[in-house]
Chain A
Amino acid sequence: MNPCFYCGQPATIHYTSLIGKKKVEQHLCEGCARKQGVLADGPAASAPMNLQALVQLVLGQNATPDTAALKCPNCGLKYSQFRAEGRFGCPHDYDAFGEVLRPLLDRIHRDTAHRGKVPRALAGRGEVADLRRQLAEAVDSERYEDAARLRDLIRQKEGSDGPG
């Protein structure tokens, strides 16, 4: 039985979507499904599913007029095009779409921050990169308390001095 994405209770609603060629699954319990607006009030069996709300859950924020119009200044790809095709146009899209991407990445990877290898040329760069390496080491050796502390520290630093 899959746990609910929000509360960890056994999930009764399972939703699978295709992003590119990859399957992304979302599991919810009835209570959280109501809270997220996926299920309308009323007995579960008869309640109609709100598909729009489900899609939002899996893909993150809906493409609102604001986000749909987001456009990469470098390759010209619009956010709405990215959502339709599931593929980025160029590396700059990741900055151009920025915050809007986080919920999507969180759905796919259950995480939004890289903790792996850093190119040699950049490896020595900056305090945050250094903290991130320490974090990776802490996670690898299962020192989760240290990891949580480093993670908060990195978030704090990113929040204060960068575009994020």
Chain B
Amino acid sequence: MDLDSLLPNLGEWLRGTGPDVDVVVSTRIRLARNLADVPFTTRASDAQKGEIEARVREAVGKSALEPRLDYLSVAELSPLDRLFLVERQLISRELASTLDGPRGVAFDTNESVSVMVNEEDHLRIQVMRSGLALDDAWDRIDKVDDALEARLSYAFHDQFGYLTACPTNVGTGLRASVMLHLPALGITKQIEKVFKALQKINLVVRGLYGEGSRASGDLYQISNQVTLGKSEPRLLTEIKEVIGMILQYERQARQVLLKERRQAEQDRVARAIGTLGSATMITSEETMELLSSVRLGIHLNLLDDLPHTTVNRLFIQSQAAHLQKLTGQQLDGEERNAARARYLRNCLRDLGGK
């Protein structure tokens, strides 16, 4: 697979369509699976990891999944290509850089299904959907899992379910994450209150790039903490109920903003577009914050001539590895901030946005 061919695409998770896409960016479900009778990845030798990789590759190839998944050996990729896959959410940071030995990822050209091999668990199957689509994502991943299971012997225990390297994933091995854009709850200072309520019901809130990452651009991932003792549909139902409530709060807060401070919001959005379209140096943090204002402006109809997928395009392509691929140069520090500003200026000019 030629990775650079993905560059102009948004990928499934940023497609920008789907249910409740005014608040929900994307839905992701992952399943942790391991092969029976082989040590978990952290205690496997390189030879054993090579064996695991070969078995999973063969299963992926023979299971004839639609759309087809192509396998890439992460160990053989350049650091730039690995970061590119991290930015597109096809692999984890751990698979990219902290783990070693034979490891890889299989994914389809729509970037809706990915199977990481030799991450913390032998297989980490992931399905992405644009917008809020937990049931749809579960149907898909359940089938992918069945297809692979038909050719691989999974470590499964009558009592504990699917066995995983970490006891926090055992049972279903299922983690469902919904990425939400919650700017109005941030502006009206209600976000802390919402998150405190979530922790009480065993859901986890994290920033954009997963565990330990800071929320930037008002993007939050909500996911289940418990994986054992409940069926998959039950786990999904619990998340759905909570997401439904958060959606309602965020939409109410947006209406309050429109009613009570429309002019100020209009100003914020105009300034955000102004800065994105005229800065000569810009960090990724500032870009994220400004894009958050623009995204909100689009959904509040405070901006006319910008399609809402624009924000997603600028969001993904202004990240480090994407910029380096777009410019064809290695960029560090200041150069990168200058290249990011140049890219954003050009894009917004081409779109005729102001």
Binding site for B on A (CB under 8 A): 2, 19-22, 75, 77, 86-91, 94-95, 101, 104-105, 108-122, 126, 128-129, 136, 139-140, 158, 162, 164
Contacts and interface: CB of A to CB of B under 8 A. Distances in A.
Contact of A88 (B159, B167, B226, B233): B167
Interface string B212-229: 100000000000011111
Interface size class of B (residues with CB under 8 A): 35 or more
A116 B161 contact: yes
B150 interface: yes
Given A20-B166, A77-B43, A118 B171 contact: no
A114 B40 contact: no
A101 B38 CA distance: 21
Contact of A94 (B37, B120, B157): B157
Nearest to B233: A140
Given A21-B212, A91-B37, A109-B226, A116 B154 contact: no
A116 B161 CA distance: 8
A104 B235 CA distance: 20
Contact of A75 (B39, B158, B162, B235): B39
Interface of B: 34, 36-40, 42-43, 120, 142, 145-146, 149-150, 153-168, 170-172, 174, 200, 211-212, 225-235, 237
Nearest to A89: B43
A20 B40 contact: no
Given A19-B168, A115-B231, A91 B163 contact: yes
A26 to B, nearest CB: 13
A117 B229 contact: no
B166 A116 contact: no
Given A77-B43, A89-B40, A111 B228 contact: yes
